[in-house]
Structure 1
Amino acid sequence: MTPSKPDRFPYLSALRGLAALWVVMAHVALMPNPRFVLPWWPQTLAQSGVMGVNLFFLVSAFSLCLTMPKHDSEQRPYLGFMLRRFFRIAPLFYALIGLACLSHWFNPAGLPYNYKTILANLTFVFNFTPGLGYQSSVLFAGWTIGVEMAFYLVFPFIYARTKSVTLAIRALVVALVVAAVFRSVIGNLVAEPRIYIPKSIFHLAPMFMFGIIAFYVVQIAGEWTHKRAIGAILLASVPLQFYVIVSGMVPFGEPMYWQGPMFGCLLVGLYLFPIKPLVNRATVWLGNVSYSVYLVHGPIIAALFPLFWRLRHSGLSEPQAYVLLLAITLLCVIPVATLTYYGWENWTNEWGKRFASRCAGGKRVEGTGIDSAKVVVAESREERGGYPAESLT
């Protein structure tokens, strides 16, 4: 195996790794019946695990902004962009749908598998369709894939119109207005709006806009003096913002959207001051396999339920059992995710990038006779080893 090149954006990979870890921590605590009863701070952290998904969305938008300039060298940039995103997301998603059809372990929630739900998932239109197995996906926690794919459809058009912090903030305002209108009218269109709204792209689009804002802030931050001091201040503000959000003390608006500034401070802060407890070889590596971790962890937790029951009735306290079972879960999830990443996900992603480059075509550089498609392929090879735009969310 050819050694992968150093990660060009370790703070982004680390954030993806931490987000994946947060989601696993939440599901270990919340999936069992009954749920774990933990002290206040770990209980709050576990119950807030959905924030890890929103962090994925913010980092995803940031990462996509990084990769867009290379599409300028293609004859069909939108085609190239969508093909790359398809081959980044679809192969592993499709493979696990196939496994879920064959084994109940990959369908711990008992989601309905029929030709309608499977077709909706294979075509990535399920985020727009209410109902179990549709918007929720037929894969455990797969609903986020529908959100991501819906965002990919419009991202190139948003990016073309947000070339500065000011324009990105305007896009955020538009997204917030659209989300407010959506929440006000959707009750007339679906039977269970309280279930449909939290997983809809229309409700979640502002989280992606915060990622675009963070991208342009980072461009400016590269010229700041006292970077480490500013980064330290931004990072120090994150726990305070988290406390305000989970305590219900946000001054106005939807509490979820206050996660955008919080994660924006985290992202920009780590860019300016990448502290070792958060940005290190372990978190960066975990970020590289985070998509696999995200998709395989649910079935593995479900398969471990008998062990969960035994350890919770073995005399251990709830916090002790939780910590032990979280460690066991990670010892199972990470090796499986590593196998799916290197054995399938990374291979199909690399093939897909080469295929996308051929389909998108390259503009001939005037005066050189060089087809820029070859340059695109060369650049895609440099992305191996955790280039941020090649992970989920």
Structure 2
Amino acid sequence: MSTVEMIPQQTRRLDWLDALRGVAALAVVFEHALKPLLPEARFPVKAVFEPGWYGVMVFFLVSGYIVPASLERRGSLRAFWVSRFFRLYPMYAVCVAGMALLVMAGWDALDGRWNSRPVSLTLGHLTMLQNLLYMPNLVNVLWTLSYEMAFYLLLTAMFALGVNRWSTTGALGSAAVAVVGGACLPVALLSVGGQGRMLTVTLVVIALVAAGMVAVLRGSGASRRAGAIVVGVTVLVLLAVNQQYPAAPWQGWMILATMFAGTALYRAEQGETSWKNAAWVALVPLCALWLARDELGLQTAVAAAWLTFAAGMAVLRHRRLPRALTWLGLVSYSIYLLHPLLLESVEWFWPEPLAVPAGLRLLALAGVVGLLLGLSALTWRLVEAPAQRLGRRLVSGPGHTDTARAADAVVRG
């Protein structure tokens, strides 16, 4: 079979990941729609199942599965980071701009710390590490991007040190820290203590990560390894002692374990490691279930996320899926970032939702979802797709063939 013939087949093999992303995005939308539109169902639903946690755990498994593969397939850290920048930041900027418009219109308000610490919070959000700098997230869903960024930085450090294939070790090590340190690790050790301290910590973290990344990307030998160590240690320290959300430090470490577990499953599926070795990552959800033993809703969400991903790998990986599902995955990042803005607007119009007839609220929910899908289609066409094409052009050398460009376009994770 020729390479050209293999590209559509590879695309189909990734359809299941798009489908899972679409389902995950809608689960998060449902979670956040409960408060402004169905408050009477919010606590009964979340008591037995946390749809938001289900959605983000599926997202993290998908990221762990495909993002390291993207880095290793390219074999270039520069190309990886250019791709990540144009994948994440343009739509991130649209989300921030949308929030700014809501604030200016009086439909929403910023956390009070934006008035006293604007420089710190702005710098933190520019790095996407704001949640690990113990800062309020400008939009509630942005906290997950801090863990994505932490994962990318750790992957970079591991790649530079030549240990990027230690995925099972990374998963089990992170889970072990969650179990052992979950009860004793401080939630916020570094950034609490006044606006000056937060700014100092932010500037130090930016300096360390920037210096480390320059050494990794432009250095060689010992300087490259030193840069990788600086980046890795900085991220691990933030994960250990400086998280804003989730409140329990074990949850952040379990997120990291989940992403590494997704990578281990990818390696087993590709034949890079044995299934016997990858099977150890089954301890990750078991540890999560034990740590969440007092939270039934979180337990069922974690279990459902893992079962969903396992079913996708086992059943959907080689099947042609409905175009609607794969399209949802394609625009899932826009769905994820835009839906809080629409729901905040609903909350401004209906500050007391229980005073509004249930039928009207259900109709409004359908309208919000319809508008959200329309806006997401628009931002995909006008923002995400052009930005990703630009990113691919920037990393494509003179010898980059059309087939290679098509292969690059396949990985949308």
Q: Is this a same-fold pair by TM over 0.5?
A: yes
The aligned residue for residue 62 of structure 2 is 59
The aligned residue for residue 260 of structure 2 is 209
Contact preservation (8 Å) 1:140, 1:295: no
Superposed, 1:356-367 pairs within 5 Å as 356-358=395-397
Instruction: Name the stretch that deviates more: 171-180 or 290-299.
Output: 171-180
Change (3 A) 1:188 1:305: closer
Contact preservation (8 Å) 2:61, 2:309: no
TM-score under structure 2 length normalisation: 0.67
* Post-superposition offset of 1:322: 5.8
The aligned residue for residue 227 of structure 1 is none
2:168 counterpart of 1:169: yes
Partner Cα distance (2:313, 2:140) in 1: 32
Partner Cα distance (1:48, 1:172) in 2: 24
Contact preservation (8 Å) 2:32, 2:340: yes
Superposed, 1:77-96 pairs within 5 Å as 77-96=76-95
Change (3 A) 1:345 1:181: same
* Post-superposition offset of 1:128: 2.2
Deviation string 1:213-253 (CA, Å, 9 cap, x unpaired) is 221343359x99xxxxxxxxxxxxxxxxx9x99xx9x4x34
The aligned residue for residue 310 of structure 2 is 268
Partner Cα distance (2:306, 2:68) in 1: 15
Q: Secondary structure at the match of 1:184?
A: coil
Partner Cα distance (2:248, 2:66) in 1: 23
Q: Secondary structure at the match of 1:146?
A: helix
Partner Cα distance (1:346, 1:129) in 2: 31
* Post-superposition offset of 1:155: 1.5
The aligned residue for residue 362 of structure 1 is none
* Post-superposition offset of 1:331: 0.7
* Post-superposition offset of 1:259: 6.3
The aligned residue for residue 27 of structure 1 is 32
Contact preservation (8 Å) 1:83, 1:356: yes
* Post-superposition offset of 1:37: 2.5
Instruction: Name the stretch that deviates more: 114-123 or 304-313.
Output: 304-313
Partner Cα distance (2:344, 2:87) in 1: 26
2:188 counterpart of 1:146: no
Overall identity of the aligned pairs, in %: 20
Q: Secondary structure at the match of 2:386?
A: helix
* Post-superposition offset of 1:344: 0.7
2:121 counterpart of 1:117: yes
The aligned residue for residue 346 of structure 2 is 304
Superposed, 1:1-393 pairs within 5 Å as 7-31=12-36, 35-37=39-41, 44-45=48-49, 47-72=50-75, 77-104=76-103, 108=108, 110-111=110-111, 112-113=113-114, 114-132=118-136, 137-158=137-158, 161=163, 163=165, 167-179=166-178, 180-181=180-181, 184-187=184-187, 189=189, 195=245, 197-198=247-248, 201-219=252-270, 250=289, 252-254=290-292, 263-274=305-316, 279-305=321-347, 312-316=354-358, 323-358=362-397, 374-375=400-401, 378-384=403-409, 387=410, 389-391=411-413
* Amino acid in the other structure paired with 1:11: W
Contact preservation (8 Å) 1:29, 1:322: no
Change (3 A) 1:261 1:103: closer
Partner Cα distance (1:260, 1:213) in 2: 18
Over aligned residues, Cα RMSD in angstroms? 4.1
Partner Cα distance (2:55, 2:320) in 1: 15
Instruction: Name the stretch that deviates more: 344-353 or 190-199.
Output: 190-199
Change (3 A) 1:381 1:109: farther
Change (3 A) 1:128 1:194: closer
* Amino acid in the other structure paired with 2:404: E
* Post-superposition offset of 1:88: 0.6
* Amino acid in the other structure paired with 1:22: A
Contact preservation (8 Å) 2:64, 2:263: yes
* Amino acid in the other structure paired with 1:56: F
The aligned residue for residue 230 of structure 1 is none
Partner Cα distance (1:155, 1:322) in 2: 44
* Amino acid in the other structure paired with 2:163: R
* Post-superposition offset of 1:102: 3.8
Partner Cα distance (1:305, 1:146) in 2: 26
Contact preservation (8 Å) 2:131, 2:245: no
Q: Secondary structure at the match of 1:335?
A: helix
Partner Cα distance (1:106, 1:59) in 2: 37
Q: How many residues align?
A: 335
Contact preservation (8 Å) 2:392, 2:408: no
Q: Secondary structure at the match of 1:189?
A: coil
Deviation string 1:156-189 (CA, Å, 9 cap, x unpaired) is 44465364xxx53322121123334366232571
* Amino acid in the other structure paired with 1:390: R
Change (3 A) 1:326 1:382: farther
TM-score under structure 1 length normalisation: 0.71
* Amino acid in the other structure paired with 1:299: L
* Post-superposition offset of 1:141: 1.2
Contact preservation (8 Å) 1:10, 1:284: yes
Instruction: Name the stretch that deviates more: 84-93 or 261-270.
Output: 261-270
* Amino acid in the other structure paired with 2:261: F
* Post-superposition offset of 1:356: 3.0
* Post-superposition offset of 1:265: 3.9
